[in-house]
Structure 1
């Protein structure tokens, strides 16, 4: 609810609350009681709050968290405690190499799931060289890894990879480095918080928008689009959803 991905947390809370408002909190013989904790966009805080929910609140299920590094730590803890986890995170290993029968991913996708086809798409469109900028934690590694793996397997070349801390407030240094690269395109994998808006504004200010940009899902989330407005026009994303998007089907 606070920290650099607070916008995502608020979206998740609104969705959760809306469901129970519409459906009622009585499910069979059970009544759903929700206890909200703020993980402050921090893996350490998320683990501490999860322990409090288990030990003090005696919860049956933990919903969340959203950040990949949080989800991996919290999921492992809840598994050892025998508490179910409805994971909102895209961390690959939530349902892959470290899967647990007590952890169910109810979020949209794994971190590299959409960026793999993004890398193949970029090569098929004629891009042959690329530079990348991704957030320096598990989700950024997975987002970047999917793109780079598919792009290079198809025959493309990645000439430079840059990483920034999730709570960075100024991305201009990274953006100017990218703008100086002689590449066909740039791939960017942000966390979907203030880092996304910061990147887009810096890209606009320092001329990076002249270079074709492909992003992961979160760089153009609905909250980000509302924040940056027309700056986002022309940037491509591997995301399949944004609030207010119009889908046109052949008649």
Structure 2
């Protein structure tokens, strides 16, 4: 028997069918419709390449451990080599933004690179999670599109100066570091903190970033009881070898790059006793760090240091921001605020939160290089001897007092009379 079906009944049935189908099949989501474009500015050539390669490995490790997703969105990852110079950083930043249409930039590595692209980031309103430590871009001339989960140039050196003066009981220091912005700001931080606690810096040495022979500078290290070096990339290895060969016996202290854990396979016994302060330490016993270390060893057969950990943590911040916005990064201001509001309880470097300038507040670890506790087939090991918690970029100074002083530079603070 045939049965007549009215148009209204047919449409109602169709609507019901569509509704039923919608229950059985997932609706198109941001994650399915549009990949999240993640751009990296790093360095793969020159003296800073060692750190730059670890930066890329840190991002890749995060993506491999998270099924190539952030906030349930698939990730398209674009890595750009700046060559470790300001012009290259600016050119590659423009390519990432204008040609690749990235949603966020990670990096760059060097402070002078970040200063070079600062105005462009502002003009493009591009969320940027920097490893570069350029102090003033989260201080007196804060960039509202910048988030930094690593550290300012001086942030690790403040506790290092305090530790050298108060616990190592050292009084007179000579500083030596590459002649560029990161070096100036590192040593300014060490000097300010060291002098605040009773120490004195009586000489500052500034070799060029490409210096094969440190002999002329080593000959000037006299009349002190500690040397603070702030070298980056592979330069710390060469410096420590030449320092020992010159017969110098003063204890050596350093910041996050000069004693980086990624250098443990390359340091020799000439570096034994090196004391460093870093926002990341390989020996941190936590689930988050162990997962990260295992990922780096599995994927790249290497142990990570500060550069890799910093970029992995940046990825965690991006993912937290995307989760808070439901995966939507189209409203850059909303997305940026979500990242700056993020708190991480178990990143590879420990707990992370941000101040109102978008700069990290977190743990900094003082370590001594030795053989005790070595793992992963390493002969040398950075063993944590003190943890400073909730370290801000202003150290123990009130924010207004700190910002009333000039940014740390080649000549500020001035040398003291020891």
For normalisation by structure 1, the TM-score amounts to 0.89
Gap change, CA 1:23 and 1:182, over 3 Å in 2? same
- Matched with 1:202 is 242
Q: Does residue 154 of structure 2 align to residue 112 of structure 1?
A: yes
Match of 1:148 among 173, 178, 191: 191
Deviation of the 1:50 alpha carbon: 0.7
Contact 2:133 2:182 in 1 (8 A): yes
Contact 1:172 1:199 in 2 (8 A): no
- Matched with 2:60 is 17
Match of 1:187 among 218, 224, 228: 228
- Matched with 2:262 is 223
Contact 2:122 2:143 in 1 (8 A): yes
CA deviations on 1:172-192 (whole Å, 9 max, x unpaired) are 2212221xx12111111112x
| Larger mean Cα displacement after TM superposition, 119-128 or 182-191 | 119-128
Deviation of the 1:35 alpha carbon: 1.2
SS in 2 for 1:113: coil
Which structure has the larger Rg over C-alpha atoms? Answer: 2
Gap change, CA 1:232 and 1:166, over 3 Å in 2? same
**Inter-partner Cα distance in structure 1 for 2:127 and 2:200:** 42
- Matched with 2:119 is 76
**Inter-partner Cα distance in structure 2 for 1:247 and 1:87:** 26
For normalisation by structure 2, the TM-score amounts to 0.55
**Inter-partner Cα distance in structure 2 for 1:247 and 1:155:** 24
Q: Does residue 78 of structure 2 align to residue 35 of structure 1?
A: yes
Deviation of the 1:211 alpha carbon: 0.8
Gap change, CA 1:79 and 1:184, over 3 Å in 2? same
- Matched with 2:12 is none
CA deviations on 1:80-101 (whole Å, 9 max, x unpaired) are 1122111112221232222223
Gap change, CA 1:182 and 1:78, over 3 Å in 2? same
List, as ranges, runs of 4+ consecutive aligned residues in structure 1 with deviation greater than 6 Å. none
- Matched with 1:170 is 213
**Unmatched segments (≥5 aa) in structure 1:** none
Match of 2:253 among 195, 214, 230: 214
Contact 1:72 1:93 in 2 (8 A): no
**Inter-partner Cα distance in structure 2 for 1:134 and 1:197:** 13
Contact 2:159 2:193 in 1 (8 A): yes
Contact 2:241 2:268 in 1 (8 A): no
Contact 1:225 1:232 in 2 (8 A): no
**Inter-partner Cα distance in structure 2 for 1:120 and 1:30:** 44
Q: Does residue 175 of structure 2 align to residue 132 of structure 1?
A: yes
The number of residue pairs the alignment matches comes to 244
**Inter-partner Cα distance in structure 1 for 2:71 and 2:186:** 40
CA deviations on 1:87-124 (whole Å, 9 max, x unpaired) are 11222123222222321113x21111121122222222
SS in 2 for 1:132: strand
CA deviations on 1:44-77 (whole Å, 9 max, x unpaired) are 2111111122222222211111111112222331
- Matched with 2:414 is none
